[in-house]
Amino acid sequence: MKKIMLLGSGELGRELTISLKRLGGYVVACDHYENAPAMQVADRAMVFDMLNEEQLRAHIQTIDPDLVVPEIEAINTQVLLDVETARTIVPSARAVDLTMNRDRIRDRAAEMGLPTAKYQYAESLEQLLQSHGEMHVRTVVKPVMSSSGKGQSSVAAGDAQSAQAAWHHAVENMRGDRPKVIIEEFIDFDYEITLLTLRQKNGETVFCPVIRHEQVDGDFKTSEQGTFEMGALEGQAQDMARQITDDLQGYGLFGVEFFVRGQEVIFSELSPRPHDTGLLTLYTQNLSEFDLHARAILHLPISDIQLLRKGACHTINATQAADSYRLENIDKAEAMPGVEVMHFNKPTAYPNRRLGIVFAPDLPTAKLARSKITIT
């Protein structure tokens, strides 16, 4: 039986744990708080700070796992690089390290010739003002270390006052203690997608049908699959996803994000693990993104990913902080044909924390079903 140390125990980690357990794995779920979703279904739970180098190193030593599976970005990647000779880091220590911050994966994509938004970096307010001034376009300012849209703002061309506010917002909401932001050309895209890409040891790279999603303030709110056509652009996205995941190496599922504007497919970013917009695959596919990731990391070959039904989802986010809370009227949503509600069982709430998700046959139904659920 493989012993798997899961770093990050949220809703994505929970589903991955279930998939791994179905395949006979022994899962140790880790996170910085108790009773996290994956801990509720894992063989063993450990609570510690995964950004702390000494703690992470010591716990890997004690647990002695066959596989270390990062499920979040906030992890000390130096430790993973150091221990990779003795154990398998999923999908690879290089992939986890390069994608932990925005700058290195973006530079790698640009070096490889993938189309991206124009960008520059700044490590001080002065540099940011200069870069923003030079770019002459609307920009998006993001901390290089952050996720779920934290610390991001959009700044109009020539608006130095907003650029200054964007710097402070980024610095206040970043991880780590070394301020650095990316200043990116704002892409007025038609829509954005995640291409779930499975890189395998014993098989070809395969793709899930593309997922389209909507973000609000940089955080994912809805996604849909099988409900729209991209035509030849899907193949272009697949070629780029294959190139960049081949460069990163390792085996597992990657969430590769693109913007689509007219006939252009523009690389945005990448997660070397199941992606939140892909929770929908629990509803739509023969094997979910978690089943696929679990199989790839255990080196089980996949030749066929099938969309069993089209679908859409809408997240359920908390509006306020609470030590305990309830999701109410789930029955009203579930009474709608094709609707399924998933509760993440997080112990507490804080503003915008994702507490659950609603799956439905299409986006309007997902939105309507979501509107029936209240949080008390």
Ligand X SMILES: Nc1ncnc2c1ncn2[C@@H]1O[C@H](COP(=O)(O)OP(=O)(O)OP(=O)(O)O)[C@@H](O)[C@H]1O
242 among known catalytic residues: no
Bridge pairing between strands 206-207 and 44-47: unpaired
Work out whether 192 is an interface residue with ligand X (CB under 6 A). Answer: yes
Cβ at position 218, least distance to ligand X in Å = 4
* CB contact set of 288 (below 8 Å; sequence gap of 6+): 15, 19, 278, 281, 282
277 is catalytic: yes
Answer yes or no: 269 catalytic.
yes
**Can you tell me which of 42, 187, 230, 240 binds ligand X, judged by CB under 6 A?**
187
Asked if 219 is part of the footprint of ligand X (rule: CB under 6 A), the reply reads yes
Strand order from edge to edge, sheet including 26-31: 44-47, 26-31, 3-7, 67-70, 88-89
**Binding footprint of ligand X, residue count (CB under 6 A):** 19
Could you give the residue ranges of the DSSP H alpha helices within 64-182?
Answer: 77-83, 93-100, 102-111, 125-135, 160-172
> Does residue 265 touch ligand X according to CB under 6 A?
no
| Residue whose CB is less far from ligand X, 97 or 192 | 192
Q: Smallest distance from the beta carbon of 229 to ligand X, in angstroms? A: 21
Render 272-315 in DSSP notation, one character per residue: SS--GGGGGHHHHBSS-HHHHHHHHHTT-------B-S-EEEEE
| Least distance (Å) between residue 278 CB and ligand X | 11
- 218 scored as a contact of ligand X (CB under 6 A): yes
The phi-psi region of residue 89 (left if phi > 0; otherwise alpha if psi is between -120 and 50; otherwise beta) is beta
The single residue of 192, 276, 289, 291 carrying the catalytic annotation is: 276
17 lies in the binding site for ligand X (CB under 6 A): no
**Residue 11 CA to its chain's centroid (Å):** 11
One-letter amino acid identity for 93? A
Output the smallest distance, CB 44 to ligand X, in A: 28
Contact 141, 183 (CB under 8 A): yes
Q: Which of 55, 148, 227, 348 binds ligand X (CB under 6 A)?
A: 148
Binding part of the chain for ligand X, among 215-223, 323-331, 342-350, 352-360 by CB under 6 A, reads 215-223
Told to check if 45 binds ligand X by CB under 6 A, we report no
Window of 139-147, 159-167, 323-331, 348-356 that interacts with ligand X by CB under 6 A: 139-147
Query: Is residue 149 annotated as a catalytic residue, yes or no?
Result: yes
- The contact set with ligand X (CB under 6 A) reads 117, 140, 142, 146-149, 184-187, 192, 215, 218-220, 257, 268-269
